[in-house]
Structure 1
Amino acid sequence: MSSDKLLVVIDPSRDEQPALARAAHLARCAGTRLTLFLSIFDFSYEMTSMLSQEERDAMRNGVVMQRQKWLEQLAEPLKAEGIDVDFEVVWHNRPFESIINHVLNNDIAYIIKSTHAHDKLKSVIFTPTDWHLLRKAPVPVLLVKENDWPAKGNILAAVNVAADDEDHKELNERIVSKAVSLASLIDATVHLVNGYPGTPVNIAIELPDFDAHAYNKSIKQHHQARIAELAARHDIDEAHCHVLEGLPEDVIPDLARELNAELVMLGTVGRSGLSAALIGNTAEHVIDSLECDLVAFKPANFVCPLAD
């Protein structure tokens, strides 16, 4: 991670900045460069009909300059430590688009943003910035909660070892590789988790002689063999591989709590339209159930919908 640049999304509505604190921790460990990013918009500046366009632009630029100075103040302690910090303040009415546009036009490795619990109904109707980033950002997104990363903590990497297609295999390898790399920097232990489906109820009902126990055992053994192979390629102790029956959105938060994990790493897919609103994906389902940070990776062939 030493050559990676981190884009830190600043939240102007709060005094504490968990995302900045997390990014600073990573910068201290790996020597990364930070870009503090702030997207602002005030509709009242666009609706002041008594002012000319030049006057509105001047007022807007004044607000941008004020926020730029605020970012510089936030960065002063970091610069005093020798951390390289850049700044970017943009006027945009859709924060997620401004963030992604900056990523597309700059050499950014990770987006780091603080998060909080979302209202489930509102999340369906008015998709939060977090969900937009999980679906559309072309780089990994680290969503930060307010817990600290303890020394010698645990990183939980969620994988899908049942998939045979190359995209899923590549994504599994990248998630685990990034988990191992980060663990070496922050002195953490990597655990792998894979959820597998139990016996379909309709089969058990329709086939009285069907041995559900044997079926479940066979499925679990298959997943255990696959995850052990993945772990071996990355020098992860097989004792740290967890194959659990259940849906990923249930299995991952439960194990994260059991391990007191500081971070969950998983893959996500981009969706748009009705499927995004009503279905979502694993990352979106687990984010509010986690008490720790989450980082989501896209498949290698992901195409950002905002890219030209």
Structure 2
Amino acid sequence: MQSIKRILVVLDPSREDNVALVRSRLLAGYLGAELHLLVCENRRDYSDMLDELCESLDTAGIKARYTQTWQSNLTDTIIRTLLTEGCGLVIKQHTPDNPLKKALLTPEDWKLLRYCPAPVLLAKGSALWMHGKVLAAVDLGGHDDQHQGLRDAIVRHAADIARMTSGELHLLSAHPAPMLSAANPIYQLRETILEIYMEKARRYITEYEIPESRTHIDEGPADVLIPRVAAQIGACVTVIGTVARTGISGALIGNTAEVVLDQLSGDVLVLKPDDMIDHLQDLVEK
């Protein structure tokens, strides 16, 4: 996270509890980053409120400026401001959608996770991060460079947050159930599958000094295991990756980050592979 020098903070002026602003102040202080406040609104002028916020941040030693604008939709407004201002992280407060509405329409925060060419932190509650538990949820089953790079980034970001907050770093990965019909006999036994996943986790356990009590490698679907472990340990923030599935596959299969979003009580930091970030940025610029 040390490379992030400017953070885009999406504010909802209708809310009294600006959790996104609280998180952004903490991260800006730790990273020495500037804040760019964004109000996605064209019906009312909030410049007085934004001027006051920027003055308050400046007094606290945090450089900040703001934009109030509206494009065709919320996601497009956020992404275009992100690129215009050169921000390396988006922080936005998340409000769970009505289940019926979610079944009919893609929630705005899901769109942001799919299309934003930068990490997205969705702030969900007022729980403090200091001395909290940070959960790095990775897929240790992927073999390609894209998965490897994403895993490294997830654990690195989670470790940075744990270090910043004097918190505990936890590592999680779900593994598949054994299948007697598997072509590779290794995947026919639960013990050998667990051994493979533990071996892949060992480099993170060693590098970040994660004790066994904070290592959670278990059988089951990731979208079930992540909320369960997060609740058990009381995670204040969960760091997860997404492959930004869209279209029919996104509708039918879903992304783990999207599925677990409303099941987690803590904040969620979502990362994407570098090549996907580049691709999404190219799409916007076209």
Give your verdict on TM over 0.5: yes
Query: Which residue does the alignment assign to 2:93?
Result: 114
Distance 1:142 1:81 in 2: 22
1:290 aligns with 2:264: yes
Paired AA for residue 243 in structure 1: I
1:104 equivalent in alignment to 2:78 = no
Distance in 2 separating the partners of 1:245 and 1:112: 32
Matches within 5 A, 1:2-81: 4-42=5-43, 63=44, 66-81=45-60
| Pairing 1:306–2:260 present | no
* Partner SS state of residue 51, structure 2: helix
Where in structure 2 are there 5+ consecutive unaligned residues? Answer: none
Contact kept? 2:9, 2:20, Cα under 8 Å: yes
Q: Which residues of structure 1 form unaligned runs of 5+?
A: 43-62, 205-210
Give the 3-state SS of the residue equivalent to 1:306 in structure 2.
helix
Aligned-residue CA RMSD (Å): 2.3
The Cα shift of 1:164 comes to: 0.7
Conserved in 1, the CA contact under 8 Å of 2:4 and 2:89? Answer: no
Give the partner amino acid of 1:221: E
In 1, the alpha carbon distance for the partners of 2:136 and 2:33 equals 23
The alignment status of 1:184 with 2:163, answered yes or no, reads yes
SS in 1 for 2:86: coil
1:3 positional shift:
5.1
The number of equivalent residue pairs is: 279
Deviation digits for residues 149-196 of structure 1 (CA, Å, limit 9, x no counterpart): 243211100111111111000110111111112221121121110001
Tell me the distance in 1 between the aligned counterparts of 2:257 and 2:89. Answer: 16
* Separation of aligned partners in 2, 1:119 and 1:199: 37
Pairwise CA distance, 1:106:
2.6
Maintained 8 Å contact 1:29/1:186: no
**In structure 2, what residue type is equivalent to 1:292?**
G
CA contact (8 A) 1:192 1:242 kept: yes
Q: 1:193 to 1:18 in 2, by over 3 A?
A: same
Partner of 1:92: 71
Percent identity of paired positions between Structure 1 and Structure 2: 32
User: TM-score scaled by structure 1?
Assistant: 0.84
269-278 vs 78-87, which deviates more? 269-278
Give TM-score, length-normalised by structure 2. Answer: 0.90
Trace 1:152-191 onto structure 2 (pairs within 5 A).
Answer: 152-191=131-170
Mapped partners of 2:149, 2:123: distance in 1: 25
Secondary structure of residue in 2 paired with 1:230: helix
Supply the AA of the counterpart residue of 1:279.
I
Indicate the residue corresponding to 1:207 in structure 2.
none
Give the CA deviation at 1:274. Answer: 2.4
Mapped to 1, the partners of 2:105 and 2:188 lie a distance apart of: 45
The match for 2:120 among 129, 132, 141 is 141
Distance apart, 1:215 and its partner CA: 1.0
Q: Which residue of 2 aligns with 1:246?
A: 220
Equivalent position amino acid for 1:173 in 2 = D
SS at match of 1:220: helix
